[in-house]
């Protein structure tokens, strides 16, 4: 039993003992807490939430949501919400993102690859075969502006 569920049981029991809850209300709460949700039911509910999350606007510069989504307020990092889903869905965030379960350890790699578009600067140290690897190195989105391009651009030193 999780600590949260245990605390909920204790709280309900305390309310019942102080005559705040009737015995029938206490039983309903207890039975609800004891009910085991199937993995399939939980995954289906999470997948529906995930579909709704796709409609939430995200600021591309900050990677934060711009309006409330369930219990998260505006300004919460998309990555924080992704971690929440990853901890709760039986197949993880990679399944929700790509519809498949990747090899162990590949989830974060796929996430970091999704943070940066194909890079056109072949002489940047973070460019590998046309793919920006900056997110994989620093675990955050590179800052790219229309005026100056990528702020993290670092020219490769070439031996003559």
Question: CA 60 to CA 57: how far, in whole Å?
Answer: 9
- Residue percentage of the chain with pLDDT more than 90: 25
Nearest CA to 78 among 116, 115, 109?
A: 115
State the residue for tokens 């690859």: 113
> Which structure tokens are listed for 25?
């209300």
**Tens-place pLDDT, residues 145-156:** 777 777 777 777
Question: CA 34 to CA 5: how far, in whole Å?
Answer: 9
pLDDT above 80 (res 21): yes
State the residue for tokens 């072949």: 122
Question: CA 126 to CA 112: how far, in whole Å?
Answer: 13
pLDDT above 60 (res 118): no
CB 62 within 8 A of CB 51: no
**What is the dihedral angle through the alpha carbons of 30, 33, 38, 40, rounded to the nearest 10 degrees?**
140
**Tens-place pLDDT, residues 61-114:** 899 999 999 889 999 999 899 999 988 998 888 889 888 765 665 656 666 666
pLDDT above 90 (res 126): no
Question: CA 150 to CA 113: how far, in whole Å?
Answer: 16
Check residue 46 and give its pLDDT. 93
Question: CA 110 to CA 94: how far, in whole Å?
Answer: 8
């Amino acid at each position: 039993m999780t600590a949260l569920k245990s605390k909920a049981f204790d709280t309900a029991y305390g309310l019942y003992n102080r005559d705040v809850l009737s015995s029938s209300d206490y039983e309903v709460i207890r039975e609800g807490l004891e009910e085991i949700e199937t993995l399939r039911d939980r995954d289906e509910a999470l997948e529906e939430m995930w579909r709704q999350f796709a409609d939430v606007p995200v600021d591309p510069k900050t990677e934060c949501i711009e309006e409330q989504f369930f219990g998260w307020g505006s300004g919460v990092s998309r990555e924080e919400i992704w971690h929440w889903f990853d901890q709760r869905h039986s197949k993880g965030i990679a399944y929700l993102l790509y519809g498949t379960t990747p090899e162990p350890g590949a989830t974060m790699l796929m996430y970091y690859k999704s943070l940066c578009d194909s890079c056109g600067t072949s002489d940047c140290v973070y460019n590998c075969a046309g793919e920006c690897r900056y997110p994989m190195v620093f675990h955050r989105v590179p800052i790219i502006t229309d005026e100056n391009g990528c702020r993290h651009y670092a020219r490769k030193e070439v031996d003559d």
